[in-house]
Structure 1
Amino acid sequence: MENLRELDKRHFIHPTSSIQQQQENGPKVIMEKGEGIYLYDKSDNAYIDAMSSLWNVNIGHGRVELADAAAEQMKKLAFSSAFSTFSHEPAIKLAEKIASISPANLNAVFFTSGGSEANDSAIKLVRHYWKIQGQPERQTIISLKRGYHGVAAASTSATGIPQFWGMAGHMMTGFTHAETPYGSSTDSAIASLRETIETEGAENVAAFLVEPVQGAGGVLIPPKDYLEKVRQVCDAYGILLIADEIITGFGRTGKMFAVENYGVQPDLLTFAKGVTSGYIPLGGVLVSDPIHEVLKEMSEGTLFHGFTYSGHPTAAAVALKNIEILEQEGLVENSREMGEALLQGFQNIKEKLNIVGNVRTMGLLGAVELVRNPGTNERFTSDQKVAPKVIDALHQRGVICRPVTYDNTDIICFAPPIIINKVQINTLVDKLYDAIHAVEKELGQVM
């Protein structure tokens, strides 16, 4: 074990991690195996994976069916390029399957290796779409503050969390951010979107990119009418609407795709994570029939965009098996039902403890906000690090979770595997209560 820790420090640069913390303390945990909703470390300690690792292990850990699907495909055709119109059966069947379960009118798929690539691809496709129609000035992408869209060049620039710009700058021009409805209202957020469009000039705007639920921003669930009014604004100004369903797709919100909760039809939809439940990298962009028609009729020559692993046959085979499991085991409906149970648990905690503010879920995507005064929503000061303390307390109790502290918020995010059952929900809620209660007592001693 100690040798692994030293090798980790010497050779492994961790993503989205503190390099100093790694060098001082080594890796926080070295995981050995996963089963169901649980992860096990090298000492066989069990942890509830309350975040599905990175919002992605939807059907849970240790599913032999996906390993078998990968092995079977690898033995037959592990990899073959999809460039220059070469094709293969797994990608064709997966594209057809995703189209069949997606919102109506979204019937063509461009495959990528993951979510950041999917959003970068959507941005390039919409700019190309306008360019071939004689409107090359339509370059601007509007997204939301606190939105997260990835860490590639364009997706970093579309992300509305300034901390992600600090490392290497804003990366690209042609991006701007409107106000989120979080902490305000539909009307004020829509007014901000209209103002942003007017400021940029509608003739210069290519698309509005939005998460149906802002995941990494803190599981920010918009008001019920927000996306409907967004669709109306986009239509009024002739702007394309891109739904970023990287986190919310494939059953996470109690529907196959989150936009179904709002009855909204996007022009493009990006996906990744849950399409394979994280067992192998895969992402993509769904485009509407009208956009596909323009691309087919007006694109001349080669579409100079593609990744080595676009339409990877092994990844496609795993995705097909993953979707089959989602459907056969009724996991989308389970996500809805267990999400309601999780919300009830959050509400019970809120009634018993003094520092719990807003609680919310949509399917098995949820959040608990911690505040100094729930009545006034007064927040803790950033130096108190309340959310990180609760995360540490949860870790001690065998729960892996995630804090969000942007803009002086203290939010605990949840996205457990959508195979979770009622007994496991109750265990998770009990551990959360104990963790928050312990931090609440600590704060009572120092405040």
Structure 2
Amino acid sequence: MPENEFRVLDGPALWSAQAHLPSVLGRQLVVTRAEGSYVHTADGRALFDGTAGLWHANVGHARPELADAAYAQMRRLETYHVFGRYLNDRAVELADRLAALSPVDDVKVILNSGGSDAIDVACKLARRHWQLAGRPAKTIVLSREFAYHGLHAYGTSIAGLEFNRTGYGSESLVPETARISADDVAAVERTVAEIGAEHIAALVAEPVQGTGGVHPPSPGYLEGLQRICRDNDILFVVDEVITGFGRTGTMFASERYGLTPDLLTFAKGVTSGYAPLGGVLIAPAVWRPFYRDSPDTPVFRYGSTYSGHATACAVALRNLALLEEEKLLPRVVELEFLLAQELEVLRTVPGVAGTRVAGFLGGVTLDDHLGAEAVADELVDHGFVTRPLRGNTLQISPPFITTDDELRQLVKAIGTVVTDQGDRRG
């Protein structure tokens, strides 16, 4: 076989997402069912879901309340679009509910199919806003180093994780984007000055960086970003796709950190992953130009077939009710305290370089001689799902229904595997 040719591997027809295929083919775990905080695989394993899927299964898996809500809605109206003069009642009801929960007063709500959709809409709306304001030079969208904002064209373009940006033939799929410091307000101010505020449309930031390694904001950082945006006529876009709907102990992390964004993106926790749904909360300064009573009022051309999907909205409404009925946000506060205690002990384990907590979100960074991916793989054999993230970090973000003992056992298992791998390498 010539040196430049390789054997082509076989595998399922389904192309795994975010995967180096030679590394996963032949050892993929097929999940067939789930219940509560556990998933079950085709080979008979029961695994504690230490990541709540992809940060989303907040109320736990296979809740009959949400299945019943979807069934009842489909029997009445599976969906109807929200284009032009048409709406469906569930989309209207959910938008009103979200507006009442919003950390920003008097918002309008755009609904779509997920977080990547929401980011795409928010960035386009930010640019459209400044065009209408007669400031066409304001087109650049800023985002933080190590940020993750989905993988649509705009999310790819504003990613602070370079491996998600490279390989497409240009520095940015969507032109006019730039990165800012992830934790230094003074450095952000310098970047804004270098680019020129007159060229910047928006700044997008996660309150807690998730895929970038579970990094809570440094003290004063988010407040500093908000001040910079206000001082320089830059729209402040807060990406709450992971943190929204209770993950940090408040309905939105913006409340926890005292933020009043111009645009707030959400997804995941709005339905706990039971139906694909995301969207944008839009402050009055941004939505009002599109609501003027004038024949010259512009149209913001957003929307996809499933925007405001009636069944997804019905599921979201029942999910939000569950958060309230079961007092899951106060429970997150308790779990944050316990997780912080447990991770403080874990920090003393040789091989653990550091830990971080923000709400019921934890990150465990390992020493360089250990690999987060190898540790996560071995944890499966102990009955626990974690996920390797940037910076040799393990993700901890179980469902809100997790018991104290389950959380302790997860952290204990991490310590055991880290110790065992360290001993084998020693």
Please state which band the TM-score falls in when normalised by the shorter chain: over 0.9
Greater CA drift, 244-253 or 40-49: 40-49
CA distance in 2, matches of 1:437, 1:280: 39
- Partner SS, residue 201 of structure 2: strand
Aligned match of 2:3: none
Q: Which of residues 237, 241, 245 in structure 2 aligns to 1:246? A: 241
Aligned match of 1:334: 331
8 Å CA contact 2:370–2:422 kept in 1: the answer is no
8 Å CA contact 2:363–2:394 kept in 1: the answer is yes
1:412 matched to 2:394? The reply is yes
1:73 matched to 2:69? The reply is no
* Residue pairs, 1:41-80, within 5 angstroms: 41-80=41-80
* Residue pairs, 1:176-325, within 5 angstroms: 176-181=178-183, 189-297=184-292, 300-325=297-322
- Partner SS, residue 124 of structure 1: helix
1:171 matched to 2:166? The reply is no
- Partner SS, residue 107 of structure 2: strand
- Cα distance change, pair 55–106 in 1 and its aligned pair in 2 (3 A): farther
How far 1:259 moved relative to its partner? 1.4
Cα deviation per residue 1:222-269 (whole Å; 9 max; x = unaligned)?
Answer: 123111111111111111100000011111111111111111111110
8 Å CA contact 2:290–2:299 kept in 1: the answer is no
How far 1:400 moved relative to its partner? 0.9
CA distance in 1, matches of 2:395, 2:174: 29
- Partner SS, residue 137 of structure 2: coil
8 Å CA contact 1:336–1:362 kept in 2: the answer is no
How far 1:164 moved relative to its partner? 0.5
8 Å CA contact 1:225–1:262 kept in 2: the answer is no
Cα deviation per residue 1:373-403 (whole Å; 9 max; x = unaligned)?
Answer: xxxxxxx2xxx45212211221111111111
Aligned residue type for 1:139:
T
Given the two structures, how large is their TM-score scaled by the length of structure 2?
0.94
CA distance in 1, matches of 2:124, 2:182: 24
Aligned residue type for 2:342:
G
**Percentage of identical aligned residues:** 36
How far 1:165 moved relative to its partner? 1.5
CA distance in 1, matches of 2:35, 2:106: 34
Aligned match of 2:378: 393
Cα deviation per residue 1:397-442 (whole Å; 9 max; x = unaligned)?
Answer: 111111124xxx3211111111112121112122112111112212
CA distance in 1, matches of 2:12, 2:418: 36
Cα deviation per residue 1:287-307 (whole Å; 9 max; x = unaligned)?
Answer: 112222223228735322211
Aligned residue type for 2:398:
P
Aligned match of 2:18: 16
CA distance in 2, matches of 1:270, 1:68: 27
8 Å CA contact 1:212–1:221 kept in 2: the answer is yes
Aligned match of 1:377: none
Aligned residue type for 2:222:
L
CA distance in 1, matches of 2:167, 2:317: 37
How far 1:355 moved relative to its partner? 2.0
CA distance in 1, matches of 2:245, 2:11: 36
How far 1:102 moved relative to its partner? 1.6
Aligned match of 1:4: none
CA distance in 1, matches of 2:142, 2:387: 27
How many aligned residue pairs are there? Answer: 413
Aligned residue type for 2:413:
K
CA distance in 2, matches of 1:359, 1:106: 38
How far 1:96 moved relative to its partner? 0.7
CA distance in 1, matches of 2:270, 2:76: 22
Aligned match of 2:7: none
Aligned match of 1:436: 418
Aligned residue type for 2:14:
F
Aligned match of 2:341: 344
Aligned residue type for 1:277:
S
Aligned match of 2:6: none
Aligned residue type for 2:351:
I
CA distance in 1, matches of 2:336, 2:131: 43
8 Å CA contact 2:112–2:304 kept in 1: the answer is yes
CA distance in 1, matches of 2:419, 2:370: 15
CA distance in 1, matches of 2:399, 2:142: 32
Q: CA RMSD in A?
A: 1.5
8 Å CA contact 1:335–1:364 kept in 2: the answer is yes
8 Å CA contact 2:32–2:40 kept in 1: the answer is yes
Cα deviation per residue 1:89-116 (whole Å; 9 max; x = unaligned)?
Answer: 1001100111111203252111110101
Aligned match of 1:185: none
- Partner SS, residue 413 of structure 1: strand
Aligned residue type for 1:156:
T
8 Å CA contact 1:254–1:363 kept in 2: the answer is yes
Q: Is there any run of 5+ residues in structure 2 with no aligned partner, and where?
A: 1-9
CA distance in 1, matches of 2:101, 2:397: 22
How far 1:212 moved relative to its partner? 0.2
Q: Is there any run of 5+ residues in structure 1 with no aligned partner, and where?
A: 1-7, 182-188, 372-379
* Residue pairs, 1:149-168, within 5 angstroms: 149-168=149-168
How far 1:194 moved relative to its partner? 1.2
Greater CA drift, 116-125 or 283-292: 283-292
Once superposed, which parts of structure 1, at least 4 consecutive aligned residues long, lie more than 3 Å away? none
Q: Which of residues 364, 367, 387 in structure 2 aligns to 1:368? A: 364
- Partner SS, residue 208 of structure 2: coil
